[in-house]
Amino acid sequence: MKILIIGSSGLLGTALTMKCAERGIPFVGTTHEDLEITHREELESWVSTSGCDTVINTAAMVGINQCEHYPVTAFKVNTVAPANLAHICRRQGITLVQISTHTVFDGRSSDPYTEFSVPNPLNIYGASKYAAECLVRNICPRHYIVRLPTLFGPRRNSRPGFSDKVLQWIAEGKALRIADDKIDSPSYTLDVADALLLALRTGGRGNYHIANAGAVSFYDFVLEIVRILGARVEVQRAKDWEFQPLAQNPLKTAMASVYLPPLRGWTEALEEYLRSAR
């Protein structure tokens, strides 16, 4: 197996390059500077000349507000580009792994979402990612759809995610207001990358959920970060609506898998990440 990792400097892309190197799996990584994913000719050139038999597409336009502001761009990046990749991979007999998100669900379930749960996106980000799932599934026979929760871990690019912002705010000594009604299964990218590579080696094609075990509110997740770091900052409760999202935000998006072995709990994973990041 040789893997083309599209978006290799992001959260998941960084972890995949680290784990491939650790396991001796040949790979080629591209960043936004190397490849404009919305240009089909560039995609075809990279896939054709990379010598890879598997493509993992981690590139995406993320963030509810950003996608609501720029819906055309969101669908170009999150839907059209994966569809183009699916056509390219089908013609060349290549396996395509399309990374998706828990935001394809409406967040109204009190139980963790599994591979059998029915998507019902509430916003453009979720809709654009779910549309990509449908197209990849129907275009490319050799496909994996991998849905992920909110991630934390090392990254090589400068586009901060939620945990990166929290760590920055803590370093600056800012008081934090964090939603206590937003429930997730925050997951360590190195654990996710391990599980994904295992699925590619041992699993059948199809849909997979990968997440560290457990569910927690964003508020309690941040409290745990503060506790592990021994930081002295104030963390105040808030509600998600107070941050004025431009569209509905699914509130309960904990995840679990019926196909893959359970990963360790999110608290253990978070502690390892924060200790190593120091």
CATH number, residue 21:
3.40.50.720
Residue 116: name the closest of 216, 3, 208 by CA.
208
Pairing label, strands 27-30, 54-57: unpaired
**What Rg value do the Cα atoms of the chain yield, rounded?**
18
Q: Per the domain annotation, does 198 fall within a domain?
A: yes
Q: Per the domain annotation, does 35 fall within a domain?
A: yes
Number of domains in the chain: 1
Q: Domain of 19?
A: 3-159+187-213+254-263
Q: Per the domain annotation, does 30 fall within a domain?
A: yes
User: What DSSP state is assigned to residue 80?
Assistant: I
Q: Per the domain annotation, does 270 fall within a domain?
A: no
Q: Per the domain annotation, does 122 fall within a domain?
A: yes
Q: Per the domain annotation, does 166 fall within a domain?
A: no
203-234: pLDDT as tens digits:
678 999 999 999 999 999 999 999 999 999 99
What was the pLDDT predicted at 160?
83
Q: Per the domain annotation, does 53 fall within a domain?
A: yes
Query: Comparing 7 with 201, which gets the higher pLDDT?
Result: 7
Q: Per the domain annotation, does 246 fall within a domain?
A: no
CA distances from 67 to 108, 124, 125, 259 (A): 21, 6, 6, 31
Does residue 111 contact residue 158 with C-beta atoms inside 8 Å?
no
Taking the whole predicted model, whether its pTM rises above 0.75 is answered as yes
What would the mean pLDDT of 245-252 be, rounded to a whole number? 93
Pairing label, strands 151-152, 187-188: parallel
